[in-house]
Amino acid sequence: MFKLTLVTDAWEPQVNGVVRTLSTTVRLLRERGVRVQLITPDQFWSVPMPDYPEIRLALTTRRRIGKLIRGFAPDALHIATEGPLGWLARGWAQRQGMAFTTSFHTRFPDYVAARIGIDPARVWRVLRRFHAPARAVMVATPRLAAELAGHGLANTRIWSRGADTAQFRPDAPPHPIYATLKRPVALHVGRVAIEKNIEAFLAAPWAGDKVVVGDGPALDQLQRRFPGAHFLGALHGPALASAYAGADVLAFPSRTDTYGLVMVEALASGTPVAAFPVPGPLDVIGRDGYGPDGRAPGRIGALCHHLSDAMIQALTARRADCVAQGRRHDWEACVEQFVAALVGGDGRPVSAPPAFQLPRVA
Protein backbone atom coordinates (compact mmCIF):
# COMPACT_ATOMS: atom_id res chain seq x y z
CA MET A 1 0.00 0.00 0.00
CA PHE A 2 1.35 3.43 -0.98
CA LYS A 3 2.04 5.71 2.00
CA LEU A 4 2.33 9.48 1.97
CA THR A 5 3.31 11.86 4.77
CA LEU A 6 1.87 15.35 4.33
CA VAL A 7 3.15 18.11 6.61
CA THR A 8 1.16 21.34 6.72
CA ASP A 9 0.81 24.35 8.99
CA ALA A 10 -2.53 25.16 7.33
CA TRP A 11 -5.27 22.80 8.43
CA GLU A 12 -8.74 22.67 9.92
CA PRO A 13 -10.35 24.52 11.61
CA GLN A 14 -8.73 27.21 9.44
CA VAL A 15 -11.03 28.17 6.57
CA ASN A 16 -9.21 29.10 3.38
CA GLY A 17 -8.40 27.82 -0.08
CA VAL A 18 -5.17 26.14 1.02
CA VAL A 19 -6.98 24.05 3.63
CA ARG A 20 -9.76 23.13 1.21
CA THR A 21 -7.18 22.12 -1.40
CA LEU A 22 -5.26 19.94 1.02
CA SER A 23 -8.29 18.37 2.71
CA THR A 24 -9.90 17.53 -0.63
CA THR A 25 -6.66 16.01 -1.91
CA VAL A 26 -6.28 13.90 1.23
CA ARG A 27 -9.87 12.70 1.04
CA LEU A 28 -9.55 11.61 -2.59
CA LEU A 29 -6.21 9.93 -1.96
CA ARG A 30 -7.69 7.93 0.89
CA GLU A 31 -10.70 6.99 -1.22
CA ARG A 32 -8.26 5.47 -3.66
CA GLY A 33 -6.53 3.43 -1.00
CA VAL A 34 -3.53 5.64 -0.26
CA ARG A 35 -2.47 5.76 3.40
CA VAL A 36 -1.92 9.38 4.36
CA GLN A 37 -0.15 10.50 7.51
CA LEU A 38 -1.02 14.10 8.40
CA ILE A 39 1.29 16.23 10.52
CA THR A 40 -0.70 19.36 11.40
CA PRO A 41 -0.77 22.06 14.14
CA ASP A 42 -3.66 20.46 16.05
CA GLN A 43 -1.33 17.61 17.09
CA PHE A 44 0.96 19.89 19.14
CA TRP A 45 0.95 22.75 21.58
CA SER A 46 0.40 25.91 19.58
CA VAL A 47 0.09 29.66 19.93
CA PRO A 48 -2.04 32.07 17.89
CA MET A 49 -0.27 33.96 15.16
CA PRO A 50 0.05 37.64 16.14
CA ASP A 51 -2.77 39.71 14.58
CA TYR A 52 -4.17 36.51 13.03
CA PRO A 53 -5.46 34.31 15.90
CA GLU A 54 -7.27 31.88 13.56
CA ILE A 55 -3.85 30.60 12.49
CA ARG A 56 -2.09 28.50 15.11
CA LEU A 57 1.71 28.16 15.14
CA ALA A 58 2.81 24.72 16.31
CA LEU A 59 5.44 24.42 19.05
CA THR A 60 7.44 21.22 18.72
CA THR A 61 10.88 19.95 17.76
CA ARG A 62 12.60 18.57 14.70
CA ARG A 63 13.25 15.37 16.63
CA ARG A 64 9.57 14.80 17.34
CA ILE A 65 8.60 15.49 13.73
CA GLY A 66 11.28 13.09 12.56
CA LYS A 67 10.07 10.39 14.93
CA LEU A 68 6.57 10.65 13.49
CA ILE A 69 7.80 10.45 9.91
CA ARG A 70 10.23 7.60 10.57
CA GLY A 71 7.58 5.60 12.43
CA PHE A 72 5.20 5.85 9.48
CA ALA A 73 7.94 5.07 6.93
CA PRO A 74 6.26 6.84 4.00
CA ASP A 75 6.94 6.21 0.35
CA ALA A 76 6.85 9.98 -0.23
CA LEU A 77 7.07 13.13 1.90
CA HIS A 78 5.28 16.34 0.90
CA ILE A 79 5.79 19.57 2.84
CA ALA A 80 2.91 21.85 1.95
CA THR A 81 3.65 25.08 3.82
CA GLU A 82 6.55 27.26 4.91
CA GLY A 83 5.46 27.49 8.58
CA PRO A 84 7.07 26.04 11.72
CA LEU A 85 6.11 22.44 10.93
CA GLY A 86 7.28 22.83 7.36
CA TRP A 87 10.70 24.10 8.38
CA LEU A 88 11.13 21.35 10.97
CA ALA A 89 10.16 18.61 8.52
CA ARG A 90 12.42 20.10 5.86
CA GLY A 91 15.37 20.22 8.26
CA TRP A 92 14.86 16.65 9.40
CA ALA A 93 14.52 15.31 5.86
CA GLN A 94 17.69 17.08 4.76
CA ARG A 95 19.66 15.63 7.66
CA GLN A 96 18.37 12.17 6.83
CA GLY A 97 19.10 12.55 3.12
CA MET A 98 15.41 11.95 2.42
CA ALA A 99 13.98 13.55 -0.71
CA PHE A 100 10.77 15.54 -0.46
CA THR A 101 8.45 17.82 -2.43
CA THR A 102 6.95 21.16 -1.44
CA SER A 103 4.13 23.35 -2.71
CA PHE A 104 3.77 27.10 -3.11
CA HIS A 105 0.30 28.26 -2.08
CA THR A 106 0.71 31.79 -0.76
CA ARG A 107 2.51 34.95 -1.89
CA PHE A 108 3.96 35.68 1.54
CA PRO A 109 6.21 38.47 0.19
CA ASP A 110 3.16 40.45 -0.91
CA TYR A 111 1.22 39.63 2.27
CA VAL A 112 4.07 40.68 4.55
CA ALA A 113 4.57 43.88 2.58
CA ALA A 114 0.86 44.70 2.90
CA ARG A 115 0.80 44.01 6.63
CA ILE A 116 4.08 45.32 8.01
CA GLY A 117 5.92 46.90 5.09
CA ILE A 118 8.91 44.54 4.83
CA ASP A 119 10.65 44.57 1.46
CA PRO A 120 9.27 41.57 -0.51
CA ALA A 121 12.79 40.78 -1.78
CA ARG A 122 13.83 39.85 1.77
CA VAL A 123 10.93 37.43 2.12
CA TRP A 124 11.66 35.90 -1.30
CA ARG A 125 15.17 35.06 -0.07
CA VAL A 126 13.67 33.09 2.81
CA LEU A 127 11.20 31.30 0.54
CA ARG A 128 13.95 30.47 -1.95
CA ARG A 129 15.98 28.90 0.85
CA PHE A 130 12.97 26.86 1.99
CA HIS A 131 12.01 25.45 -1.41
CA ALA A 132 15.43 25.09 -3.04
CA PRO A 133 16.20 21.59 -1.62
CA ALA A 134 12.83 20.18 -2.77
CA ARG A 135 12.93 17.76 -5.70
CA ALA A 136 9.81 19.48 -7.03
CA VAL A 137 7.81 22.56 -6.03
CA MET A 138 4.13 22.17 -6.87
CA VAL A 139 2.31 25.24 -8.21
CA ALA A 140 -1.23 25.80 -9.43
CA THR A 141 -0.54 27.43 -12.81
CA PRO A 142 2.15 27.86 -15.48
CA ARG A 143 2.08 31.61 -14.77
CA LEU A 144 3.03 30.95 -11.16
CA ALA A 145 5.74 28.53 -12.28
CA ALA A 146 7.24 31.28 -14.44
CA GLU A 147 7.10 33.71 -11.50
CA LEU A 148 8.96 31.29 -9.25
CA ALA A 149 11.54 30.65 -11.96
CA GLY A 150 12.18 34.39 -11.97
CA HIS A 151 13.01 34.11 -8.27
CA GLY A 152 15.40 31.21 -8.77
CA LEU A 153 12.99 28.28 -8.24
CA ALA A 154 12.76 26.54 -11.60
CA ASN A 155 12.02 22.97 -10.49
CA THR A 156 8.24 23.31 -10.49
CA ARG A 157 5.41 20.91 -11.33
CA ILE A 158 1.79 21.80 -12.01
CA TRP A 159 -0.78 20.83 -9.38
CA SER A 160 -3.99 22.55 -10.40
CA ARG A 161 -7.21 23.15 -8.45
CA GLY A 162 -10.75 21.90 -8.81
CA ALA A 163 -14.30 22.41 -7.60
CA ASP A 164 -16.51 19.95 -5.75
CA THR A 165 -19.29 19.95 -8.33
CA ALA A 166 -21.45 17.71 -6.17
CA GLN A 167 -21.61 20.52 -3.62
CA PHE A 168 -21.17 23.68 -5.68
CA ARG A 169 -23.93 23.56 -8.28
CA PRO A 170 -26.40 26.02 -9.81
CA ASP A 171 -29.50 24.37 -8.36
CA ALA A 172 -28.37 24.75 -4.74
CA PRO A 173 -31.09 26.58 -2.76
CA PRO A 174 -30.11 30.25 -2.39
CA HIS A 175 -29.13 31.45 1.06
CA PRO A 176 -32.24 32.87 2.84
CA ILE A 177 -30.73 36.34 3.06
CA TYR A 178 -30.97 36.77 -0.71
CA ALA A 179 -34.76 37.00 -0.49
CA THR A 180 -34.35 40.32 1.33
CA LEU A 181 -31.64 41.88 -0.83
CA LYS A 182 -31.69 44.31 -3.72
CA ARG A 183 -30.55 42.85 -7.04
CA PRO A 184 -28.03 42.47 -8.50
CA VAL A 185 -26.22 40.93 -5.52
CA ALA A 186 -22.43 40.95 -5.52
CA LEU A 187 -20.66 38.40 -3.33
CA HIS A 188 -17.18 38.11 -1.88
CA VAL A 189 -15.93 34.85 -0.31
CA GLY A 190 -12.63 34.53 1.51
CA ARG A 191 -10.59 35.51 4.52
CA VAL A 192 -11.46 38.98 5.71
CA ALA A 193 -7.92 40.31 5.85
CA ILE A 194 -6.04 43.30 4.51
CA GLU A 195 -4.20 41.33 1.83
CA LYS A 196 -7.52 40.29 0.24
CA ASN A 197 -8.23 43.91 -0.76
CA ILE A 198 -11.91 43.57 0.20
CA GLU A 199 -12.14 47.33 0.69
CA ALA A 200 -11.88 47.73 -3.09
CA PHE A 201 -14.99 45.59 -3.46
CA LEU A 202 -16.97 47.29 -0.72
CA ALA A 203 -16.08 50.78 -1.96
CA ALA A 204 -16.89 50.04 -5.62
CA PRO A 205 -20.06 51.70 -6.98
CA TRP A 206 -22.87 49.13 -7.26
CA ALA A 207 -26.61 49.34 -7.83
CA GLY A 208 -27.53 46.32 -5.70
CA ASP A 209 -26.50 44.83 -2.38
CA LYS A 210 -23.15 43.35 -1.39
CA VAL A 211 -22.53 40.21 0.67
CA VAL A 212 -19.28 39.15 2.36
CA VAL A 213 -18.75 35.54 3.44
CA GLY A 214 -15.74 34.86 5.64
CA ASP A 215 -14.03 35.69 8.89
CA GLY A 216 -10.72 37.29 9.71
CA PRO A 217 -8.81 40.06 11.46
CA ALA A 218 -10.25 42.90 9.34
CA LEU A 219 -13.90 41.93 9.87
CA ASP A 220 -14.76 44.38 12.66
CA GLN A 221 -13.11 47.29 10.89
CA LEU A 222 -14.87 46.64 7.58
CA GLN A 223 -18.24 46.17 9.27
CA ARG A 224 -17.88 49.61 10.86
CA ARG A 225 -16.74 51.28 7.64
CA PHE A 226 -19.32 49.67 5.37
CA PRO A 227 -22.54 49.22 7.39
CA GLY A 228 -24.59 48.79 4.22
CA ALA A 229 -22.89 45.51 3.31
CA HIS A 230 -24.09 42.18 4.67
CA PHE A 231 -21.44 40.17 6.53
CA LEU A 232 -22.44 36.51 6.99
CA GLY A 233 -19.29 35.23 8.68
CA ALA A 234 -17.68 31.94 7.68
CA LEU A 235 -19.97 29.47 5.90
CA HIS A 236 -19.32 25.81 5.13
CA GLY A 237 -20.83 23.00 3.09
CA PRO A 238 -24.41 23.57 1.89
CA ALA A 239 -24.53 27.05 3.45
CA LEU A 240 -21.50 28.14 1.42
CA ALA A 241 -22.94 26.54 -1.72
CA SER A 242 -26.16 28.48 -1.15
CA ALA A 243 -24.23 31.74 -0.94
CA TYR A 244 -22.54 31.12 -4.29
CA ALA A 245 -25.70 29.94 -6.05
CA GLY A 246 -27.81 32.90 -4.92
CA ALA A 247 -25.40 35.63 -5.99
CA ASP A 248 -25.42 37.43 -9.34
CA VAL A 249 -21.64 37.92 -9.45
CA LEU A 250 -18.60 36.97 -7.36
CA ALA A 251 -16.16 39.82 -6.86
CA PHE A 252 -12.55 38.74 -6.37
CA PRO A 253 -10.56 41.89 -5.53
CA SER A 254 -7.35 40.21 -4.38
CA ARG A 255 -4.18 41.17 -6.24
CA THR A 256 -1.93 38.71 -4.41
CA ASP A 257 -3.55 35.24 -4.51
CA THR A 258 -1.69 32.49 -6.31
CA TYR A 259 -4.94 31.08 -7.70
CA GLY A 260 -8.26 31.81 -5.99
CA LEU A 261 -10.19 28.59 -5.43
CA VAL A 262 -13.38 30.53 -4.73
CA MET A 263 -13.52 31.61 -8.39
CA VAL A 264 -13.75 28.00 -9.55
CA GLU A 265 -16.37 27.20 -6.91
CA ALA A 266 -18.43 30.22 -8.01
CA LEU A 267 -18.28 29.16 -11.66
CA ALA A 268 -19.41 25.64 -10.80
CA SER A 269 -22.35 27.29 -9.01
CA GLY A 270 -23.25 29.26 -12.13
CA THR A 271 -22.00 32.59 -10.80
CA PRO A 272 -19.73 34.73 -13.02
CA VAL A 273 -16.57 36.30 -11.61
CA ALA A 274 -15.31 39.90 -11.64
CA ALA A 275 -11.71 40.67 -10.77
CA PHE A 276 -8.62 42.69 -11.55
CA PRO A 277 -6.42 41.54 -14.47
CA VAL A 278 -3.73 39.98 -12.27
CA PRO A 279 -2.32 36.44 -11.80
CA GLY A 280 -5.00 34.20 -10.37
CA PRO A 281 -7.96 35.74 -12.20
CA LEU A 282 -5.99 35.67 -15.46
CA ASP A 283 -5.43 31.94 -14.92
CA VAL A 284 -9.09 31.18 -14.18
CA ILE A 285 -11.22 33.78 -16.00
CA GLY A 286 -8.86 34.83 -18.76
CA ARG A 287 -8.01 38.32 -19.93
CA ASP A 288 -11.15 38.59 -22.09
CA GLY A 289 -13.47 36.69 -19.74
CA TYR A 290 -13.63 33.55 -21.88
CA GLY A 291 -11.30 31.33 -19.86
CA PRO A 292 -7.49 31.30 -19.73
CA ASP A 293 -7.31 29.52 -23.09
CA GLY A 294 -10.20 31.47 -24.62
CA ARG A 295 -12.21 28.26 -25.00
CA ALA A 296 -14.99 28.76 -22.49
CA PRO A 297 -18.43 28.16 -24.05
CA GLY A 298 -19.26 31.82 -23.47
CA ARG A 299 -18.36 34.69 -21.18
CA ILE A 300 -17.67 33.49 -17.62
CA GLY A 301 -16.70 36.80 -16.06
CA ALA A 302 -14.74 39.97 -16.65
CA LEU A 303 -11.40 41.49 -15.65
CA CYS A 304 -10.88 45.22 -15.49
CA HIS A 305 -8.70 47.73 -13.63
CA HIS A 306 -11.96 49.26 -12.35
CA LEU A 307 -13.63 46.52 -10.32
CA SER A 308 -17.13 48.00 -10.61
CA ASP A 309 -16.83 47.91 -14.43
CA ALA A 310 -15.77 44.25 -14.26
CA MET A 311 -18.75 43.46 -12.01
CA ILE A 312 -21.20 45.09 -14.42
CA GLN A 313 -19.67 43.36 -17.44
CA ALA A 314 -19.69 39.99 -15.68
CA LEU A 315 -23.46 40.23 -15.33
CA THR A 316 -23.73 39.62 -19.07
CA ALA A 317 -22.40 36.05 -18.66
CA ARG A 318 -24.80 33.13 -18.97
CA ARG A 319 -24.94 30.97 -15.87
CA ALA A 320 -24.95 27.80 -17.97
CA ASP A 321 -21.62 28.83 -19.55
CA CYS A 322 -20.15 29.43 -16.09
CA VAL A 323 -21.27 25.98 -14.95
CA ALA A 324 -19.79 24.32 -18.02
CA GLN A 325 -16.44 26.02 -17.42
CA GLY A 326 -16.50 25.24 -13.70
CA ARG A 327 -16.95 21.56 -14.42
CA ARG A 328 -13.74 21.57 -16.44
CA HIS A 329 -11.88 21.91 -13.14
CA ASP A 330 -11.82 18.27 -12.09
CA TRP A 331 -10.46 17.43 -8.62
CA GLU A 332 -9.71 13.86 -9.68
CA ALA A 333 -7.36 15.13 -12.39
CA CYS A 334 -5.76 17.52 -9.88
CA VAL A 335 -5.02 14.67 -7.50
CA GLU A 336 -3.44 12.68 -10.32
CA GLN A 337 -1.19 15.69 -11.01
CA PHE A 338 -0.25 15.75 -7.33
CA VAL A 339 0.74 12.08 -7.30
CA ALA A 340 2.67 12.44 -10.55
CA ALA A 341 4.75 15.23 -8.99
CA LEU A 342 5.72 13.26 -5.87
CA VAL A 343 9.14 11.71 -5.43
CA GLY A 344 10.20 8.78 -3.29
CA GLY A 345 12.68 9.04 -0.46
CA ASP A 346 15.48 8.31 -2.93
CA GLY A 347 14.46 11.26 -5.07
CA ARG A 348 13.10 9.22 -7.95
CA PRO A 349 9.57 9.92 -9.28
CA VAL A 350 7.05 7.61 -7.69
CA SER A 351 4.94 5.37 -9.84
CA ALA A 352 1.20 5.82 -9.47
CA PRO A 353 -0.15 3.70 -6.59
CA PRO A 354 -2.15 0.68 -7.76
CA ALA A 355 -5.37 2.31 -6.53
CA PHE A 356 -4.95 4.97 -9.21
CA GLN A 357 -5.43 2.33 -11.88
CA LEU A 358 -8.89 1.53 -10.55
CA PRO A 359 -12.10 3.13 -11.91
CA ARG A 360 -12.64 6.61 -10.52
CA VAL A 361 -14.54 7.01 -7.31
CA ALA A 362 -18.12 8.19 -8.06
> pLDDT averaged over the chain?
93
Q: Is the pLDDT of residue 280 over 90?
A: yes
Helix-helix angle 108-116:120-131, to 10 degrees: 150
Q: What's CA 324's distance to the chain center, in Å?
A: 21
- Looking at residue 362, what is its pLDDT? 42
66-79 residue pLDDT tens: 999 999 999 999 99
pLDDT digits (tens, 9 = 90+) for 92-139: 999 999 999 999 998 777 766 656 667 888 889 999 999 999 999 999
- Residue 352 phi/psi, 5-degree rounding, is -60, 130
Q: Percentage of the chain with pLDDT > 70? A: 94
d(CA 350, CA 341): 8
Give kind and range of the element (H or E) at residue 122: helix 120-131
- State yes or no: pLDDT of 355 exceeds 70: no
The mean pLDDT of 328-354, rounded to a whole number, is: 87
Q: What angle do CA 17, 139, 75 make, to 5 degrees?
A: 95
Predicted confidence band of residue 315 (pLDDT cuts 50, 70, 90): very high
The pLDDT score that the predictor gives to residue 307 is 98
| Rounded-to-integer distance, Cα 64 and Cα 45, Å | 12
**pLDDT, tens digit, 9 for 90 and up, residues 160-208:** 999 999 999 999 999 999 999 999 999 999 999 988 999 999 999 999 9
State the pLDDT at residue 114. 59
- Has residue 2 got a pLDDT over 60? yes
Q: What is the pLDDT of residues 249-264, one digit of tens each?
A: 999 999 989 899 999 9
Look at residue 354 in the predicted model and tell me its pLDDT: 64
Q: What domains sit in the chain, N to C, each tagged with a CATH number? A: 3-162+330-357 (3.40.50.2000), 176-326 (3.40.50.2000)
Q: What are phi and psi of 344, to 5 degrees?
A: -80, 175
C-alpha closest to that of 260 among 175, 308, 188, 333 = 188
Is 245's pLDDT higher than 60? yes
Burial of 337 (0-12, 13-18, 19+ CB in 10 A): middle
- What pLDDT score was predicted for residue 359? 45
